[in-house]
Structure 1
Amino acid sequence: MSNPDSFIDEVTEEVRRERMFSYLRRYGWIGIAIVLLIVGGAAYTEWNKAQTAANSQAFGDAILAALDQPDAEARHAALTAVEAEGDRSAVLDLLLASDPATNRAGALAALEHAASDASLPASYRDLAVLRRVILAGADLPLADRRALLDGIAAAGRPFRPLALEQMAYLSVEAGETEAAITQLRALTADQEAPAGLRQRAQQMIVALGGETAAS
């Protein structure tokens, strides 16, 4: 290679380096910002996880402390004082409804609150509806109980078999024995129903004077 060619190559390489340094001076902050965002995002994620774990532990500790109270009145007061949002609020409402013998009105109010909270997952709301129907019993008109159970007895709902079982019991309460037997027979063949529920349905059919599929 001739000296002029070598000189031109050196000049070209120097120009490239100058351009590169110029780009770095002009746009290098973007790369630094991206690195800072990645590092900051990772740090925030870890901090958020730690905060969530700490909040969950604090909620659990408060619940356990409340349940350790010596009597039902003190337990209810302690549970009512626990701060909760979202799913934890549903858990708290269900716990507040766990001692209906001493505070039936409070239990029903807690269940109604959980059942009507559209921000909660369907599983919590459906469980609250089911327990409310069972706890309210005859104090809630039969038609109202059927309407509530209809909403959670649809295909794909988490407590569908239990809702169907309660609907069969409502038919018994209404004096609709044949309808109840038909509903219970359907439950004995329902693969979504737990074995214990299918067994209860068979026993109830017999108690109502009907025949099971195996009879």
Structure 2
Amino acid sequence: MSEVDSFIDEVTEEVRRDKLFAAFRKYGWIAILAVVLLVGGAAWKEYRAAQHKAGAQAFGDAVLAAQSKDKPEAVYKALAAIKAQGAQAAVADLLAAAEAEKAGDTKAALARLDAVSGDKSLPPAFRDLALLKSVTLAGDTMSADRRDQVLAALSQPGRPYRPLALEQLALLAVKAGKTKDAIEQFTKIAQDAGVTPGLRQRATQMIVALGGSPKAAG
């Protein structure tokens, strides 16, 4: 290779380095920012996961501590004092409602259930469970129209507690002396593939007790 060619190559290489350095000075901050965002995002994700885990553990510990108390009244007060949001608050309210019911404080229990059923941000499973429990707990103190409205909504196809709502409708029909309607409701339950064996057995027994045919239910 001649000295002229070597000189040209050196100049060309120097020009390339100068262009690369200029490009880095102009656009290098973008690469640095991307790295910072990537590392920062990963760190934030880990931090949030750790926070979520710690929060879940703290909530679980608080619930266990509350349930370790001797009397339902004390358990209810401890559960009601737990500070939580979202699904955790719903769980605490449902547990508190159960303890209030044990303590004979129906008003407090219904208030906790209403708090869950009225929270639009919660998944339907939580809200429907609170509504169903409200109907069974309120009994005759709830107006017949309101009770029928709630149970009719909960018994629609696709609702998570449809079989239990149908059972309540059937029991109400029995109480009202509407034997035919009760048998129809119990038959729906017995024929539902999604019900538990225990509920299907109860429905079949009620059909027989009401004078219906267990074959039609099966």
- What does residue 125 of structure 2 align with? 123
- What does residue 10 of structure 2 align with? 10
Q: Which amino acid counterpart does residue 101 of structure 1 have in structure 2?
A: K
**Aligned equivalents of 2:156, 2:191: Cα separation in 1:** 17
**Aligned equivalents of 1:121, 1:82: Cα separation in 2:** 21
Q: Which amino acid counterpart does residue 46 of structure 2 have in structure 1?
A: E
Q: What's the offset of the Cα at 1:6?
A: 4.0
- What does residue 154 of structure 2 align with? 152
| SS of the residue 1:78 aligns to | helix
- With 16-25 and 172-181 compared, the bigger mean Cα shift is at 172-181
- What does residue 190 of structure 2 align with? 188
**Aligned equivalents of 2:95, 2:6: Cα separation in 1:** 85
Q: What's the offset of the Cα at 1:2?
A: 5.0
- In the alignment, structure 1 residue 170 sits paired with structure 2 residue 163: no
**Aligned equivalents of 2:140, 2:98: Cα separation in 1:** 19
- What does residue 20 of structure 1 align with? 20
Q: Which amino acid counterpart does residue 144 of structure 1 have in structure 2?
A: R
Paired residues in the alignment total: 215
**Aligned equivalents of 1:177, 1:136: Cα separation in 2:** 24
- What does residue 89 of structure 2 align with? 89
Contact 1:171–1:179, Cα closer than 8 Å, also in 2: yes
- What does residue 49 of structure 2 align with? 49
TM-score, normalised to structure 1, is 0.93
Q: What's the offset of the Cα at 1:42?
A: 0.8
Structure 2, gaps ≥5 residues long: none
**Aligned equivalents of 1:11, 1:206: Cα separation in 2:** 101
**Aligned equivalents of 1:66, 1:52: Cα separation in 2:** 21
**Aligned equivalents of 2:80, 2:188: Cα separation in 1:** 41
Q: What's the offset of the Cα at 1:71?
A: 1.2
- What does residue 40 of structure 2 align with? 40
- With 52-61 and 67-76 compared, the bigger mean Cα shift is at 67-76
- % same residue: 51
Contact 2:76–2:97, Cα closer than 8 Å, also in 1: no
**Aligned equivalents of 2:7, 2:35: Cα separation in 1:** 39
